[in-house]
Amino acid sequence: MTEPVPHSLPSYLNPNDPGPWGIYLEQVDRVAPYLGSLARWIETLKRPKRILIVDIPVELDNGEVAHFEGYRVQHNTSRGPGKGGVRYHQDVTLSEVMALSAWMSVKAAAVNLPFGGAKGGIRIDPRNYSQAEIERITRRYTSEIGVIIGPNKDIPAPDVNTNAQTMAWMMDTYSMNEGGTATGVVTGKPVALGGSLGRVEATGRGVYVAACEAARECQIEIKGARVAVQGFGNVGGTAARLLYEAGAKVVAIYDHTGIVHNAHGLNILALFDHVRTTGGVAGAPDTESLTPTEFWSLETEILIPAALEGQITHDNADLIHTKILVEGANGPTTPEADDIISSKGTMIVPDVVANAGGVTVSYFEWVQDFSSFFWTEQEINHRLEAMMRAAYGAMSRVAREHQVSLRTAAFIVACTRILEARQVRGLYP
């Protein structure tokens, strides 16, 4: 019998994965030279700790039985229980869930939350199913992954096509199976069920804090700064409103209905009213409409992509003239576009720190659930701002020390923290 090769990969890991997992592996390789003696442990980051693939059989409203494929991946739990959302989407794949779980490890460590990274998903187009069917699917999925989740093990949260109601069903199912109320098993719950105040606005507020920190470093006054935002939903809408209230001139907003512009600054509160009545920003009073090319070409101090991934590519990166780009969305800038924009001197605040406000308040929710003692919204916002500033500061110091981008610096900070924990814990047995 031959000895196993020490670094041979498990059969389910393709070292040349062209998908999201491959992108993540490239990012890890890029930080390896900065990890010093901790690089010895780097393989830890390249293999998820635990992967669970489950079959979800469910009776549909018409009496038929359908089967769905579900996943829960715990990438790393060296620093604490796994943490990460659950996505319902027809394109969910194991490679995607693995990469998203790894990015959660990086995000939690970059913000210094006592969590590891995890992610879950079901391969399903939820638009094709009734609420009652979605509830049954959610409950069966929760029962199936119940063997590895728990308040001290792995704590799911909402992601694409899941919400506070989904979390309430997950919490109830887990609690019924355990025989006791376990509010801390998921975050992003309704406030009536141990959810946290401030959670809805948390990501946008974190983006706002990251933008303010970057502006301070670049010696740009927020008051009067020209801002353009793609996305006017939970993240983009909140960030735009907070910047507007701080005196910034939000000159353009881009959503799925169109792009509105006013060189003197948009009235963001009036724009919210317009969106509430019409469903989108297009046609708002006192605005002119722009093409996407005109939007990306705007000269601004702060640009915030907060809609979808992959919006800034080699096709439009050259157009961009902004001093600071704050990534509200996950992965809005392709690596090629990142190089083009950075070479022009634009500071890019990476998603793993810029949009970490949501997971930070999820951490607060988990802490509150453990103590069954709930904080005021003011306390939450105050603590969120302090944690975001500390995360930004740690990233910025490493960027200066190694003369690297903020993105590489965030990965260095995060991977160092994860591997330090790995090293001091040691291997068991």
Q: Helices 377-402 and 357-371: crossing angle, nearest 10°?
A: 130
CA torsion sign for 360, 364, 365, 367 is positive
| Residue 176 CB, nearest approach to ligand NAD (Å) | 28
Q: Give the nearest distance from C-beta 269 to ligand NAD in angstroms.
A: 16
Round to whole Å and give the CA distance between 163 and 140. Answer: 17
Q: What is the closest distance, in whole angstroms, from the C-beta atom of residue 89 to ligand NAD in the complex?
A: 12
What is the 8-class DSSP label of residue 400?
H
CB–CB of 171/146 below 8 Å? no
Pick the closer one to ligand NAD by CB: 38 or 231.
231
Type and span of the H or E element at 57: strand 50-59
DSSP codes of every residue in 288-330: EE--HHHHHH-EEEEEEE-S-SS-B-TTTGGG-EEEEEE--SS
Of 107, 119, 249, 323, the catalytic one is 119
Nearer to ligand NAD, 38 or 387 (CB): 387
Closest separation between CB of residue 167 and ligand NAD, Å? 13
In the bound state with ligand NAD, the residue whose beta carbon lies nearer, of 95 and 362, is 362
The first and second tokens of residue 374, run together, are: 């709930």
Distances (CA, A) of 225 to 29, 250, 300: 37, 8, 8
Task: Compute the distance between CA of residue 319 and CA of residue 314 in angstroms, rounded to an integer.
Answer: 10
Residue nearest to ligand NAD (CB): 233
What residue ranges bind ligand NAD (CB under 6 A)? 203, 230-236, 254-256, 306-309, 328-330, 355, 358
223 is catalytic: no
Distance separating alpha carbons of residues 252 and 250, to the nearest angstrom: 6
Torsion of CA 315, 319, 323, 328, to 10 degrees: -40
Task: Kindly report the length of the chain.
Answer: 429
* Residues 117 and 146 sit within 8 Å (Cβ to Cβ): no
Nearest to 292, CA basis, from 262, 237, 322, 252:
252
Per-residue tokens: 188: 């992003």
Rg of the chain (C-alpha set): 22
Q: How far is the CB of 55 from ligand NAD (least distance, A)?
A: 27
DSSP class of residue 195 equals: P
Question: Minimum Å distance from CB 153 to ligand NAD?
Answer: 22
Closest separation in Å from C-beta 357 to ligand NAD: 7
Q: Quick check: 331 and 311 in contact, CB under 8 A?
A: no
Distances (CA, A) of 86 to 25, 96, 237, 320: 22, 12, 23, 33
According to DSSP, the β-strands at 321-326 and 299-305 are parallel
**Minimum gap (Å) between residue 119 Cβ and ligand NAD:** 12
In whole angstroms, the minimum distance from the beta carbon of 304 to ligand NAD comes to 10
Least Cα distance to 413 among 209, 212, 208, 113 occurs for 113
CB-CB contact of 311 with 337 (8 Å)? no
So which residues are the catalytic ones? 119
